[in-house]
Chain A
Amino acid sequence: MGVEQKLANMGVVTTTLETAVNWGRTNAMWPMLFGLACCAIEMMAAQSATYDMSRFGMELMRPSPRQSDLMIVAGRVSRKMAPVLRRLYDQMPEPKWVIAMGDCASCGGVFNNYAILQGVDEIVPVDVYVAGCPPRPEALIHGVVTLHEKVRAEKFKDLTKT
């Protein structure tokens, strides 16, 4: 009977601060509605009942950037939309993450021309790229789970570099 057993009987769990902070960040990550084009339909499908995303804490899709942590850029970003996207990204409070969903957000997709931004990582730093045109809802959920794993592995000493 160790100390941990006795504490557990009392309802106390010990952990590290990093684990606790990262657990809080992953389990209630609110995405911002940024469905631009066809990938938005798959994002909506992933949010729906069949491929439920609210089991990952993403029940609330906030349209306001001030209340969200995660920006899922779903769809092609045109050159006219790019400064708007950057402004919304700047309005999100730290900590924030970006998932580039689909081929057009990752690398420009099939549109190799003057009007479409060749990958949204030209203007915002992206954490996870989800490939597909459009990616299936399961692929988007896999990307979300990958992001969760990445956030769980974050250390405090990396966060203090600005």
Chain B
Amino acid sequence: MDNKLEKIVQVLQERFGATFEEFRGEAHVFVSLEKIIEALSLLRDEHEFALLSTLTAVDYWPQESPRFHVIYQLTSLTQNLSLQLRVPVDGSQPRVPTATGLFQAANWREREVLDMFGIEFEGHPDPRRIMMPEDWTGHPLRKDYPLGYEEPQFTFNFDEIDLRKPYAKE
């Protein structure tokens, strides 16, 4: 890991009690839910991490608890560094403070996380689904969402499924 990155990770560990893991030169820093906004603004203002490359989430059900990890990937263009912050979020009432105030790029990515995982972001200016239709129930990228959509129609069950398929009349 880069020297500059090591120093920044140490700062995060001291100020926020963050743990970190390293994987092939990348630093993954685990920050708790209450401190994430502070950590993001510290990185943006003092350490020149001006670019929020991506904001996604991962579902580790049922192996791990807390179930979701919200991932913030920050990039510093001036120092050529990349850092990943992970926020473990519980599955029962997943609410995370929004990063839209700090990074405008977080707007649509948080909408995508809401749509696909059901994690709500407090203070988001436009909290609605972005990929699925508005009246869709369920959050598709959770691990307990069914994988396929319909039963494949082979020759032996062609007629049974044909009765159930929705056809357009006109």
Contact = CB atoms under 8 A, between A and B. Distances in A.
Interface string A98-133: 000000000110001111101101111100000000
B46 interface: no
A62 B131 CA distance: 29
Interface string B116-151: 000000000000000111001010100001011110
A123 B133 CA distance: 15
B21 interface: no
A118 B133 contact: no
Interface SS of B by simple majority: loop
A66 interface: no
A150 interface: no
Contacts of B133: 79-80, 83
Contacts of A108: 149-150
Q: Is the interface of A mostly helix, strand, loop or mixed?
A: loop
Nearest to B133: A79
B166 interface: yes
Contact of B168 (A80, A118, A123): A123
A80 B150 contact: no
A118 B149 contact: yes
B140 A125 contact: no
B148 A112 contact: yes
B170 interface: yes
Nearest to A126: B168
A125 B153 contact: no
A56 B114 CA distance: 49
Contacts of B152: 112
A125 B150 contact: no
A122 B168 contact: yes
Contact of A114 (B132, B153, B169, B170): B132
Contact of A79 (B132, B147, B150): B132
B104 to A, nearest CB: 23
Given A80-B133, A114-B132, A122 B167 contact: yes
Nearest to A116: B149
Contacts of A107: 153
Interface string A71-83: 0000000011001
Contacts of B166: 122
Closest 5 CB pairs of A and B: A112-B148, A114-B140, A122-B166, A123-B168, A125-B168
8 contacts: A112-B148, A112-B150, A113-B147, A114-B132, A114-B145, A119-B165, A122-B166, A125-B167
Given A80-B132, A125-B170, 5 more contacts: A112-B152, A113-B140, A116-B149, A121-B168, A124-B168
